[in-house]
Amino acid sequence: MPTGVHLRDARKQLFDAAERILLRAGPNALTSRAVTTEAGCAKGVLHRHFADFDDFLAELVQDRIEQLGDQATALRESAGTGTVADNLTRALTALFESVAVGIVSLIVFRDELRTRLRRTTPTGIPLVTEAAAMIASYLAAERDLGRIAADADIDTLAPTLIGGGHLAFADRSSGPPGTEDVHRMVTTVIAGVARDA
The answer to whether residue 54 is domain-embedded is no
In angstroms, rounded to a whole number, what is the distance separating the alpha carbons of residues 46 and 172?
A: 28
Cα→Cα distances 69→63, 66, 89, 95, 130, Å:
10, 5, 18, 12, 9
94 and 186 part of one domain: yes
Total-model pTM: 0.86
Which of 103, 84, 129 is closest to 21 using CA atoms? 103
75 and 24 part of one domain: no
Mapped onto helix, strand or coil, the DSSP state of residue 148 is strand
In angstroms, rounded to a whole number, what is the distance separating the alpha carbons of residues 52 and 64?
A: 19
In angstroms, rounded to a whole number, what is the distance separating the alpha carbons of residues 177 and 128?
A: 19
The answer to whether residue 196 is domain-embedded is no
For residue 177, what are the domain limits? Answer: 63-190
Give the CATH number, domain containing residue 172: 1.10.357
In angstroms, rounded to a whole number, what is the distance separating the alpha carbons of residues 65 and 134?
A: 11
| Predicted local distance difference test score (pLDDT) of residue 26 | 84
Residues 81, 177, 187, 143, Cα dihedral to 10° = -40
| Predicted local distance difference test score (pLDDT) of residue 100 | 83
The answer to whether residue 57 is domain-embedded is no
- Secondary structure percentages of the chain, helix, strand, coil, to 5: 70, 0, 30
5 and 44 part of one domain: yes
In angstroms, rounded to a whole number, what is the distance separating the alpha carbons of residues 136 and 55?
A: 30
Query: What are φ and ψ of residue 113, in 5° steps?
Result: -65, -45
Q: What is the pLDDT along the chain (197 residues), one digit of tens a residue?
A: 444 445 568 999 999 999 999 988 888 899 999 999 999 999 899 999 999 999 999 999 999 999 899 999 999 999 999 999 999 999 999 999 878 888 888 888 888 898 899 888 878 888 999 999 999 999 999 999 999 999 999 999 999 999 999 999 887 667 788 999 999 999 999 999 999 76
Residue 53 has a CB neighbour count (10 Å cut-off) of 18
Q: What is the DSSP string of 153-167?
A: -HHHHHHHHHHHHHH
The answer to whether residue 180 is domain-embedded is yes
Q: How many domains does one find in the chain?
A: 2
119 and 180 part of one domain: yes
Give the CATH number, domain containing residue 25: 1.10.10.60
